[in-house]
Structure 1
């Protein structure tokens, strides 16, 4: 349903026009979000069609949104964290016109709650109450992840729609409140695929590998930077076949699925992160981005 709303680049120019303020009465612009109904955890394709724009500055939910240009169309992939607050929010958009001053296209965006379930899992006790030595490893891992997410490419590295990383059945586990050994540990911020050990894991889109190594909770982990603050994170590999700094294209082999780290059995955990916000991978996969090249 999401993809049907965005099937070709021509659709960019079909959105309802918004009249500019009096000082720019001749300028007509359109702003669109897909999916149109914004939920907590939702990735959002933001498209602005405006002539004579030299640059766009934007902020939403305390995060800066970076747009890239295709003709008279400006595009961004952003989103709302799975634990984000619901209710009205302000999407601030300021367009700097080539032949004039700024044009304000700010909008009020209603964020709706998403309904997730609660699940119970049993894992090794060291993954629920890690000891002092494990705590040192976890702290070192946290530093590695901060560095991996610190600097994203200043342009989009992805091309077209994102693809599932494995040929396996996904679960509806994103957003699940997870109880480990009877204790509430976290909200599940990724999608799990029922991938037997040794299933080939592929890059869901093009980008640069910024982390490829074992971590305490994640097991063997691969993080790919897709540019402009967007990352995908794959966990629990039995084997990693890429290295940090490597450029990958959509479909390139990253490694083999497994059961390393905090798991109950072999599977692939796949997460989508934008500017620190974790987004629903299933909704990203349903976004039709093939018109954007």
Structure 2
């Protein structure tokens, strides 16, 4: 028996801002296909080294007729191996654009910070963790970037991954929460946030949940729930939305393995805001 369809999404609060369009025009990135506007430029993905045509805004009519748009873009950007197109979550584009990253906003009310103590796990909120703890965070972030690249069929660019992790760890607004288990000397998981992130396209400040990972499978669900609750409280205290993302692995037809994760998050009051979608350059 098939499940009922998901409710339609409302227009995203992360919609393209007029100030972004003006800035893109001044930078020479705003162009048109016919009379329809789009903002596109070259971007090298650091974890894979892939040169992409990144489209941060496209008119909905272009999204509905994406093969024509892609044909124009690949001729304009002949060195790009793929196009990555930002699509508002409430818009369903032409199926040639396949999901790459789905961004979701946490819309549930954050739980109060008076939950009873848990004997199984503790969330360490310390601002300054030890060097050993920071090494664990660095390794978890490296694994996340590594796995995402492999899932998309790429060989990770080791120097690009290392540089990305270094920049994350050095970011002044980076905050990592650690999962500790009584009796164990080392953390078993983390949530890492950027507490002063800015989405240029919508001109929106937000708290970005960069990564959650819990190594101990027996504690994963409980620890993840407590990490998300702590991140939600952090964002609420700052008066900012909490936004995370789900990476979609490369798959040949059939069901998207990440769609089930997105559906589960929606049931937990995460609402999709926008999706970066991907299309490879056709072979000659």
**Larger relative strand fraction:** 1
Q: Same fold (TM over 0.5)?
A: no
TM-score, structure 1 normalization? 0.26
Q: Which has the higher contact order (CA 8 A, sep 6+)?
A: 2
TM-score of the superposition, structure 2-length normalised? 0.27
